[in-house]
């Protein structure tokens, strides 16, 4: 469980926002010390509102991680975030994130009407973000893409590219071209990230064995180390809450 000086809150939207938004969340380091953390791939694209005593308020769009990444949560910093599912990239933002995978970009001042004051009350932040996103939801989606993401999220990545192609009547080559151009990764790579994210829920409960389309225990351990940098046992221990995503899953 996170200590009292590292506050984490999360709110999940209902339909129809949940087709595009995974969650809204807040992270507040209320201590006078920086916190060393490790970012883990979760298959999402984030919009962050951030401020700290040494950094003025600004907003950033993150393109999502394909690997673990060392990070620091500065002392007395506050972060509010909207985590988007991949369909939002095309249908909410109308752009590609292929160029900001494992990185990000600063958003223009006043993006979506957000200001520093919106960080003062998490519930009001969620309400404002919900209203804004609801106002720009698409009236419809390409049926193949809609079904593709529905299957990806239902199976949590435990499905082959061939199966997906057959079920959505879209060639593997075309799907991979779409993923590469739009998101900067292959479909298979994205499935592996979703499967890793699903495994975190098992590891958080101390279930340190494969439960999602892994060949065997060795394959499971290899994949967990690839995406987190450590073996499942060390990930579960989560010393000093450095894997914040795992800590959040445990307290959810």
Residue 116: inside a domain, yes or no?
yes
Distance from C-alpha of 72 to C-alpha of 5, rounded to nearest angstrom: 15
Domain boundary among 91, 114, 135: 135
Strand partners, 83: 23, 46
Q: Is the pTM of this model over 0.85?
A: yes
How close are the terminal C-alpha atoms of the chain, in Å?
10
Q: What pLDDT shows up at residue 3?
A: 65
Determine phi and psi for 11, rounding to 5 degrees. Answer: -140, 135
Does residue 1 sit within a domain? no
Same domain assignment for residues 153 and 96: no
Give the per-residue pLDDT at 1: 46
**Res. 251: pLDDT tops 70:** no
Residue 194 has pLDDT above 50, yes or no: yes
> Does residue 129 sit in the same domain as residue 174?
no
Return the closest-CA partner of residue 155 out of 192, 200, 203, 207: 192
Mean pLDDT is lowest, of 73-77, 79-83, 90-94, 204-208, for 204-208
pLDDT at 241 over 60: yes
* In the predicted structure, residue 191 carries a pLDDT above the cut 50: yes
User: Which of 1-5, 26-30, 236-240 is least confident?
Assistant: 1-5
Looking at 80, 102, 135, which one is the last position of a domain?
Answer: 135
Tell me if 43 sits within 8 A of 64, measured CB to CB. Answer: yes
Band of the pLDDT at 234, cuts 50, 70, 90?
Answer: very high
**Cis previous bond, 35, omega within 30:** no
4-18, 54-68, 203-217: range with highest mean pLDDT:
54-68
> What per-residue confidence (pLDDT) applies to 249?
82
Q: Are residues 23 and 65 in the same domain?
A: yes
pLDDT in tens, 101-139: 999 999 999 999 999 999 999 999 999 999 999 999 999
pLDDT value, residue 155 = 95
Are 183 and 86 within 8 A, CB to CB?
yes
Instruction: Answer yes or no: is pLDDT of 4 > 90.
Output: no
Q: 96 and 16, same structural domain?
A: yes
On whether both 65 and 149 belong to a single domain, the answer is no
CATH number of domain containing 121: 2.60.40
Q: Please state the domain count of the chain.
A: 2
Predicted confidence (pLDDT) at residue 252 exceeds the cutoff of 70:
no
Residues 127 and 151 in one domain: no
Give the pLDDT of residue 240: 85
Can you give the pLDDT at residue 212? 66
pLDDT, the chain, mean = 94
What is the domain extent for residue 198?
143-251
Ramachandran sector of residue 52 (left: φ over 0; alpha: ψ -120 to 50; beta: rest): beta
- Regarding whether 244 and 157 lie in a shared domain, the answer is yes
Shared-domain flag, residues 103 and 193: no
Given 101, 135, 169, the domain boundary residue is 135
Q: Binning pLDDT at 50, 70 and 90, where does residue 247 land?
A: confident
pLDDT of amino acid 209? 83
| CA distances from residue 189 to 27, 42, 43, 194, 227 in whole angstroms, order as listed | 28, 12, 10, 9, 11
pLDDT > 90? residue 224:
yes
CATH number of the domain residue 191 falls in: 1.10.10.60
């Amino acid at each position: 469980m996170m200590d009292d000086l590292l506050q984490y809150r999360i709110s999940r939207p209902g339909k129809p926002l949940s087709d595009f938004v995974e969650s809204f969340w807040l992270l507040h380091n209320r201590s006078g010390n920086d916190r060393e953390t490790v970012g883990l791939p979760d298959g999402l694209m984030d919009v962050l509102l951030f401020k700290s005593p040494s950094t003025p308020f600004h907003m950033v769009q993150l393109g999502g991680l394909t690997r673990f990444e060392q990070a620091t949560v500065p002392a007395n910093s506050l972060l509010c975030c909207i985590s988007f599912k991949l369909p939002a990239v095309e249908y909410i933002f109308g752009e590609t994130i292929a160029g900001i995978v494992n990185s990000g970009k600063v958003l223009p001042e006043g993006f979506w009407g957000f200001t520093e004051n919106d960080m003062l009350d998490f519930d009001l932040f969620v309400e404002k973000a919900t209203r804004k996103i609801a106002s720009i939801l698409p009236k419809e989606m390409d049926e193949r893409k809609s079904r593709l993401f529905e299957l990806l999220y239902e199976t949590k990545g435990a499905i082959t590219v061939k199966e997906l192609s057959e079920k959505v009547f879209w060639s593997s080559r075309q799907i991979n071209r779409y993923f590469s151009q739009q998101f900067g990764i292959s479909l298979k790579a994205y499935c592996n990230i979703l499967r890793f994210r699903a495994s975190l829920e098992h590891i958080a409960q101390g279930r340190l064995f494969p439960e999602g389309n892994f060949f065997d225990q060795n394959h499971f351990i290899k994949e967990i180390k690839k995406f987190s940098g450590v073996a499942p046992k060390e990930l579960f221990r989560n010393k000093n809450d450095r894997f914040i995503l795992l800590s959040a899953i445990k307290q959810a």
